[in-house]
């Protein structure tokens, strides 16, 4: 640990010298207002330096009740990350005048309150990880500009984001309480017999960039007879629609809001920031969205529940047909522990929803016939469908119109189909080519739901990934999973270990500032869609 004086001296001794002299500040410095940890200095002016700023909790001043539980700590760190990003855009969005450096970067948070690697809150300190572009003039060290970056720009960002006094207490506690209320609702869904809860007054339609609710949108509501009330830790009880375990069909005319409602239910696997509109749309954390993915690969996936009469019910193909792709995805989700399957007929093959006309001999068993049995086995279904057979075999049918949900009376029909859980698979990575160009292992996030492994891009439209920081974490977890996939561990175990590993901060190996915690099942969704993925079933 070095003093602020040594930092000043090191910079001034390097002033005007080649850029590589900046390497001398790779150290842990204590300044008057914060501690600066320079983990890695960029090689040249085109790169980015990795840094951390740390403030003791005593100096930061955040009350203990803002970080005393896991939910509160995650929510507080999420809010600090948002304020850090806003301050960096205000003070360090562009280079320092007459230099080519000075930009400070942290990943922009989305609408979800997530465990983010960019900010760490402990009982001892608050720490933010970021990149900063060290300034130079003509490729030479510019000491004065570097001091302005550290003590000016970064100092102001720290003062506005890592100090309790910079926040309005009402806003800070509202952020924490909103997350805590949602997490409380999620925790009691099972004992209430529910898989999802949608608060009345929620704003479900999204703006085109998905960063805010749609202006002037119709608030969500439902019939009074359908409403349930939940007493939350903060504020008055929250009233809304509770969707019970089992097989539920959302029906209604086109443009009635059915698909938007289903999208909101998927988004409810995470807590949302105040003002998002979906703060109290809460879903069990392991919900999986299923859609047709004709042509996707699959290996050793057990679909015996959907093809009980077939001799071989292991799907092994580089190109799976449309209806089978959905059966495969459902089995993969259940294998990862999913207790809720979400399905929209707009994105599904009709064969997976209901049995076709004059298709009584079809070996493929549709969800309409399996839905109740799946619910009884602990795997609920929420399906957007206007199909009569699906509605008649469902446990519950809701009529959606103008973001209002009403009960629907339907003549029930029974099915003698019984659901069986898929066999567990054990992945093996020996066939996967991770190499690209000169890199022996190249795995990168290409979009919110696209990961490039080697030279192959894996698109996962069904994943519960909403933030690019989550996708970066998935990409890094794929690298960790490479060493774990030796056939001795199940897919669930591999993905759980890999996600936990990448979310453990390790500054020497790049830290986790660009990551936000994904679900293990979303990592599995990426691995399952790689054409070179190999899995085995143990008898």
Over residues 222-260, the pLDDT tens digits come to 999 999 999 999 999 999 999 999 999 999 988 889 999
What is the reported pLDDT for 311? 61
Question: What pLDDT is stored for residue 1 in this prediction?
Answer: 81
- ∠ CA 223-388-350, rounded to 5°: 115
Q: Token pair of 258, please? A: 């059915």
Q: Region 496-516: what's the mean pLDDT?
A: 81
User: Binning pLDDT at 50, 70 and 90, where does residue 145 land?
Assistant: very high
User: Mean pLDDT, to the nearest integer, of 429-452?
Assistant: 94
Q: Which of 225, 175, 226 is nearest to 197 (CA)?
A: 226
- Chain length of the chain: 539
Q: What is the pLDDT of residues 319-339, one digit of tens each?
A: 999 999 999 999 999 999 999
The pLDDT assigned to 314 comes to 84
What pLDDT does residue 525 have? 97
DSSP per residue over 446-471, as a string? EETTEEEETTEEEE-TTS---SHHHH
Alpha helices per DSSP H over 268-302: none
Instruction: Specify the range with the lowest mean pLDDT, choosing from 141-145, 270-274, 407-411, 464-468.
Output: 407-411
Please state, in angstroms and rounded to a whole number, the distance separating the CA atoms of residues 508 and 517.
Answer: 20
Percent of the chain with pLDDT over 90: 87
pLDDT digits (tens, 9 = 90+) for 380-421: 999 999 999 899 999 999 999 999 999 998 888 988 899 999
pLDDT tens digits, residue range 33-91? 999 999 999 999 999 999 999 999 999 999 999 999 999 999 999 999 999 999 999 99
Q: Enumerate the β-bridge partners of residue 281.
A: 198
With a cut of 60, say whether residue 478 has pLDDT above it. Answer: yes
Do the Cβ atoms of 198 and 281 come closer than 8 Å? yes
Confidence of residue 355 (pLDDT cuts 50, 70, 90): confident
Under 8 Å CB-to-CB from 536, ≥6 apart: which residues? 300, 425, 426, 428, 487
Distance from C-alpha of 376 to C-alpha of 259, rounded to nearest angstrom: 25
* Mean residue pLDDT across the chain: 94
Task: For residue 315, give the H/E element and its range.
Answer: strand 314-317
Cβ(380)–Cβ(194) under 8 Å?
A: no
Return d(Cα 501, Cα 508) in angstroms, integer: 14
| Residue 33: count of CB within 10 angstroms of its CB | 17
Question: What's the distance, Cα to Cα, between the start and end of the chain in Å?
Answer: 56
| Residue 2 and residue 27 in contact, taking contact as beta carbons nearer than 8 Å | yes
510: confidence class by pLDDT, cuts 50, 70, 90: low
The one-character DSSP state at 488 is: S
Section 110-139 average pLDDT: 96
Higher pLDDT, 537 or 282: 282
360 pLDDT band, cuts 50/70/90, is low
| Cα 211 from Cα 111, distance rounded (Å) | 6
- Please, where in the chain does CATH 3.40.50.300 lie? 189-407
Instruction: For residue 130, give the H/E element and its range.
Output: strand 125-132
Check residue 255 and give its pLDDT.
Answer: 84
Q: Are 278 and 336 in contact, with CB atoms under 8 Å apart?
A: no
Q: Indicate if the pLDDT at residue 361 is higher than 70.
A: no
Residue 452 pLDDT more than 80?
yes
Res. 211 pLDDT band, cuts 50 70 90: confident
Q: What is the mean pLDDT of residues 200-226?
A: 93
Provide the 10 A C-beta neighbour count for residue 156: 15
Which residue's structure tokens are 């809720």? 340
* pLDDT number for residue 507: 57
User: pLDDT for 277-303, tens place per residue?
Assistant: 999 999 999 999 999 999 999 999 999
The pLDDT score that the predictor gives to residue 356 is: 67
Determine which helix (DSSP H) or strand (DSSP E) holds 436, and give its type and residue range. none
pLDDT over 70 percentage in the chain:
96
pLDDT of residue 358: 46
Residue 453 bridge partners (DSSP): 443, 456
Is pLDDT above 90 for 208? no
CATH number of the 189-407 domain: 3.40.50.300
């Amino acid at each position: 640990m070095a003093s602020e004086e040594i930092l000043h001296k090191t910079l001034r001794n390097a002033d005007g010298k080649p850029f590589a002299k900046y390497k001398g500040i790779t150290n842990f410095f204590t300044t008057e207002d914060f501690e600066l940890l320079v983990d890695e200095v960029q090689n040249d002016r085109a790169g980015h330096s990795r840094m951390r700023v740390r403030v003791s909790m005593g100096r930061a001043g955040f009350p203990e009740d803002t970080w005393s539980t896991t939910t509160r700590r995650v929510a507080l760190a999420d809010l600090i990350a948002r304020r850090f990003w806003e301050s960096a855009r205000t003070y360090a969005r562009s280079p320092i005048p007459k230099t080519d450096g000075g930009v400070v970067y942290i990943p922009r948070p989305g609408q979800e309150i997530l465990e983010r690697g960019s900010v760490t809150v402990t009982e001892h300190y608050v720490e933010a990880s970021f990149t900063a572009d060290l300034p130079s003039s003509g490729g030479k060290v510019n000491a004065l500009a570097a001091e302005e970056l550290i003590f000016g720009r970064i100092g102001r960002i720290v003062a506005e984001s890592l100090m309790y006094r910079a926040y309005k207490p009402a806003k800070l506690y509202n952020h924490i309480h909103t997350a805590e209320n949602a997490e409380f609702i999620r925790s009691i869904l099972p004992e209430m017999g529910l898989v999802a809860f949608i608060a009345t007054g929620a704003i479900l339609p999204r703006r085109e960039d998905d960063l805010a609710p749609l202006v002037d949108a119709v608030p969500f509501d439902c019939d009074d007879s359908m409403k349930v009330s939940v007493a939350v830790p903060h504020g008055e009880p929250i009233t809304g629609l509770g969707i019970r375990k089992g097989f539920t069909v959302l029906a209604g005319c086109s443009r009635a809001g059915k698909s938007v409602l289903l999208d909101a239910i998927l988004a409810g696997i995470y807590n949302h920031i105040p003002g998002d509109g979906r703060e109290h749309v809460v879903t069990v954390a392991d919900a999986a969205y299923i859609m047709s993915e004709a042509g996707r690969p699959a290996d050793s996936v057990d679909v015996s529940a959907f093809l009980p009469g077939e001799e071989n019910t292991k799907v092994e193909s580089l190109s799976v047909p449309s209806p089978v792709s959905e059966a495969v995805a459902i089995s993969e989700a259940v294998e990862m522990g999913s207790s809720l399957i979400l399905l929209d007929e707009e994105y599904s093959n009709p064969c997976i929803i209901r049995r076709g006309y004059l298709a009584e001999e079809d070996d493929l068993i549709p969800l309409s016939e399996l839905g109740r049995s799946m619910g009884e086995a602990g795997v609920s279904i929420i399906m957007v469908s206007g199909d009569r057979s699906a509605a008649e075999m469902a446990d519950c049918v809701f009529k959606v119109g103008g973001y209002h949900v009403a009960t629907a009376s339907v003549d029930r029909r029974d099915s003698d189909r019984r659901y069986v859980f898929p066999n567990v698979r054990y992945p093996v990575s020996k066939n996967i080519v991770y190499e690209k160009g000169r890199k022996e292992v190249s795995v990168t996030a290409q979009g919110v739901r696209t990961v490039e492994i080697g030279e192959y891009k894996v698109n996962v439209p069904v994943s519960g990934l909403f933030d690019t920081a989550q996708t970066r974490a998935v990409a890094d977890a794929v690298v960790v999973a490479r060493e774990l996939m030796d056939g001795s561990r199940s897919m669930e175990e591999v993905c759980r270990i890999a996600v936990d590993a990448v979310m453990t901060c390790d500054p020497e190996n790049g830290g986790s500032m660009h990551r936000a915690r994904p679900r293990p099942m979303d990592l599995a969704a990426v691995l399952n869609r790689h054409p070179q993925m190999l899995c085995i079933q143990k008898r």
